[in-house]
Structure 1
Amino acid sequence: MERLNDEMERLNGKMERLNGKMERLNGKMERLNDEMERLNGKMERLNDEMERLNGKMERLNDEMERLNGKMERLNGKMERLNGEMERLNDEMERLNGKMERLNDEMERLNGKMERLNGKMERLNGEMERCGGESGQLDG
């Protein structure tokens, strides 16, 4: 009986540590989701800016001779925006990789939790049987 109690305590400690780890992983996932939402908002603003600049470039083509200097400045801005878009795309790929690793870790932890729950159920059954047997011995 004492061995079962020790095993139960050990399993409870293990489950508490796993629960703590899962809570930390959930916190990380929430922070990653917040970061992805922020990046998505930034990408939308950059897309709006790029569309605005593309419209401006079409209008400026009609005045190309007179506005050649202005076109060069806009082209520089487009290059910076494209660089920013590439950086954001790289960041999104990195975040997607993190999300995949976190999902794999969550699946692994869920499997561990299921195995621990099975052990707990078996131990509870053994404890119930031990309790019933001790009651029969008393009678």
Structure 2
Amino acid sequence: MAIVTSFRSFIRNLGATLGLAIAGTIINNNLRSKLSQVADISSSNLQWLLDNPSEVLAGSVTLPGTSTSVDLKDVFVAGYKVGFRTIFLVGAGLSGLAFFFAFALLPQIELSRPDEAKLKEGGKKFDEQLRQKKGGKADTKIQLHGIT
């Protein structure tokens, strides 16, 4: 049981790590695409913008090596919207795909037992024997295998 639990935890952590890396890549690519469409920014300044989103979202920023102030907050917000929408759609699609795979690959096991009626009848007989031993009183304490 411990091996299965640790393997499940490992796979869960591995999936979270890969998912986070993929989500970060999607967001960075969307931001890079939006920024390259709007403004003519050098690759070093583009990397600086991607590395410092909090400064960009706070308001106007002065890019390193330039003296001009740029307001790219709206571009960043639009890039984040597209990125998170893409991540949501990919995640929803993968969740749906996982559901159908699980449904198709898991065996369909019937929950009713073929000897269920026999077991119920045995339980009723056992209960009746207990009542006869107690003199007809219904007692809620039942001793099974030495446990009360």
**Bin for the TM-score computed over the shorter chain:** 0.3 to 0.5
* Higher helix proportion (structure 1 or 2): 1
Please identify the structure whose Cα radius of gyration is greater: 2
TM-score by length of 2: 0.35
Q: TM-score, normalised by structure 1?
A: 0.36
